Every structure is written in structure tokens, then in C-alpha cells.
Amino acid sequence: MKTNNKIGSLFREFGAPYRTAHPLPLAQHKALRAIERCRTAALGGHVDRCDHCGYERISYNSCRNRHCPNCQSLARERWLLDRKRELLPICYFHIVFTIPDELNPIALVNQRLVYDLLFQAASETLLTLVRDPRHVGGVPGIIAVLHTWGQNLMDHPHLHCIVTGGGLSEDGQSWLSPRKMTPGKVFFIHVKVISDLFKKKFLAYLKQRYQAGEFKWVGRINYLQDAAAFRQLLNQLYAKPWVVYCKKPFGGPKQVLGYLGRYTHRVAISNQRIVKIAAGKVTFKWRDYRDGSKTKLMTLDVFEFMRRFLLHILPYRYYKIRYYGLFSNRYRKAKLSCCQQILEVIQDEFPERLCWEDLLLELCGLDVRKCPHCQIGRMVRKELWCRSSGVPP
């Protein structure tokens, strides 16, 4: 398959038979159709002509679906430029919250509800602990990003949180650093403390929603409608340790931006990881963290690959990036302004929001307005057609 958009090509070839064999929820159906049509005549496009040599170039429109591996680069860069204005000259921590595998079947049937619980329990855990005078005593800034997949494309809901190494005092007059801090070394909060509180909050909310009758119990989790079975599951989850990982602090704001760029707009699998599509099979690279993070190859039937990919299509209008504390939308402008004054941040002048051509030029040095044929003329829009018009003659 000689194309950079391997997933799009695969979906165009196998999408129709897959939909016939497997009726899809609306969100998955829309994502599948969008990726199939991305950068094809089905979505329309335009023709540019060089004003010097007459060279013509046809460009097809992108689908802009957030699950499409082809449509995330510019969206990511725009988001990062907005975050650049908000970074403080402090250390930041990366904390990952993961729910136990026993909850994965419940999450597949009740995506919106379980993902909301994950966001709620993780954010409240961090806000509670950082506000505690024994740890920091202030209000932190938190950016939380939901991922639902593992390297093998199976369901693995977890939350990546970027947290300020400290917080703004309740009176808004000072910046407070972590209590357990020594020269050259910053210690945030012990992962066992974070994990224990996260587990208690998540399970308390899970039990609350169960009693309110908000869950759907169908298929393999149908047995959990029985109160005794659900109580037994809760006891098992309370008894086991939950996985929370806290990485070393970043070296500085630039490292934070670079790291965020790798996580915020990532989709379940990129085109670069796909090695081969042939004979109804898909072979892709994956990293086995249980075997020393070795890179391996996995081959799946094309329908199984599509099934795993579609597991990670989020519910309609579900926000996968959320902000808390200093970064919450309600208080962000006032709180960050206060922090910048305290930390004596020099406010740089940021340019106005760039159009996609200027942004691409700034990021990649690629001037799409220059003629690729003669390298002299400028590409001028000659014709525009909508998705129903087809390719012009």
C-alpha cells in the first residue's frame, strides 16, 4: 500500500464490508466515514495555479476528525502555542492514573460515565493533596489528557496529568513549593499516597453511580446487575493496589511543551507504526512494556485491527483534554496573571493567531504558497469545488 495515509486507505477498502458485518454506534460510524474520506475528492478541494509557470496543483480537504491520524499536527501546534502563553518558570510533574483491568469491560459499555469518573477522581485527588499543608498548601495547575489504548490497541483507559510543582497560596499572595524539597532535588507527593486516595475516590463515585442506576449492564457484564456480584467486585478492587506513576520533574517549560505535544492530540495508532497491509492482515509495531519495552511486531486480521481501532473513538463531543485548578477555564486568566506577577514572568509579545499556511511555514519551513515546480511563482487559487462536485476536469 503505497501511501502515507495507510489507515485511510485501509478504511476505504474494508470500511463498507466491516459496517455490514458489524453495526456501529453513531460516533464510530462518523469517525470511520471521516477517515475514509479524508484528503479525497469526496470532501471536495481546490486547484491552485502558479502565476509564473502555470503549474497546477490539486489539494483535497481534510476531515479534521480528532481520531484521524492525518489531521492532528496543525491542531496540536495551535494548542501548544496557546499553552506556551501560560507556562510558568517552575518545575512540572507528569502523573499517570490507570484503572484496574477489571473495570475495562464496564468502561467499554459505559464510556462517558467511566471516563468522567476517571477525570473526577484523579483531579480531586491532586487538588486535595496539593492543597494539604503537609505537601504544598496551595492550588496547583493541572492539564489532564485521556488515553484509552495500550500499545497493542486493546482497551487501557488512563489519564496523563501535567501538574505544576507547587501552587498558588489561598490568599493569592505567594507561590508555594513542595514541602519535601532539597537543593537540586524536588519531591512531589509519594505515589502510594496519590494511589490510595485515587482508589478510594474512584470506587466511592463508582458505588454512588451504581446505586443511582446510571450504568448499563449488558453482555459480559450483565451479571453485575446483581448487588452481591457488584459488592464482590468492589471488595476485590479495594483489596488490590492501583497503579499511579509519577515521573521525574521536567527540566523546564520547553520540555513540558515538547512532552505535551506527544500526548495531547495522539490517536490510537499512527500511520508510521503500520509496517504492512496485505492478504487481509495488518502488521504494526508495538512496544511491550512487560518485556523491557522491546519493540515487537503484531499481525492482526484486518477486521480485528479495525475493531481495536474503533474501541478508542470517544463519545460525541466528549472532551479528552481538561483543565483544573489554576488552569481551569473559569479562573485561568486571573489566577495565571497573579502567578506571573509573583514569579516575575516577563510577558513576551505573542503574534496573532496564524493561518495554516503561515503556521506550516513557521514549523516546517515549508512555504505552500511557493510553486514547487519553478520555485519562483506563487500558487494562486484557481478553482474551488465542494464535496458534491467531484474533481474538476
- What average pLDDT does the chain have? 88
CA distances from 369 to 6, 47, 149, 331, 379 (A): 27, 12, 38, 40, 5
Query: What residues does each domain of the chain span?
Result: 86-268+311-342
Q: CA angle, 217 as apex, 212 and 222 as ends, to 5°?
A: 130
CA dist 225 and 217 (Å) reads 6
Residue 3's pLDDT is 45
Task: Enumerate residues 6+ apart whose C-beta is below 8 A from 56.
Answer: 47, 48, 49, 50, 382
345 CB-side CA count, 13 A: 20
**Tens of pLDDT, residues 115-150:** 999 999 999 999 999 999 999 999 999 999 999 999
pLDDT in tens, 196-240: 999 999 999 999 999 999 999 999 999 999 999 999 999 999 999
Q: How far apart are the first and last CA of the chain?
A: 27
pTM: predicted TM-score of the whole model, two decimal places: 0.89
CB neighbours of residue 127 within 10 Å: 18
What's the pLDDT tens digit per position in 260-300? 777 788 889 999 999 999 999 999 999 998 888 899 999 99
* 3-class SS of residue 48: strand
Query: Is the pLDDT score of 352 beyond 70?
Result: no
**pLDDT per position as a tens digit, 94-119:** 899 999 999 999 999 999 999 999 99
What's the pLDDT score for residue 80? 81
Of 317, 304, 311, whose CA–CA distance to 28 is shortest? 311
> Read out DSSP for 173-204?
S-EE--SSEETTEE----HHHHHHHHHHHHHH
Task: Return the half-sphere exposure (C-beta side, CA atoms, 13 A cut-off) of residue 1.
Answer: 23
Task: Provide the grid cell at 311.
Answer: 474501541
What is the Cα–Cα distance from 121 to 237, expressed in whole angstroms? 15
**DSSP secondary-structure letter at 370?**
B
Give me the pLDDT at residue 129, please.
Answer: 95
pLDDT band at 363, cuts 50/70/90? low
Arch. (CATH architecture) of 86-268+311-342: 3-Layer(aba) Sandwich (3.40)
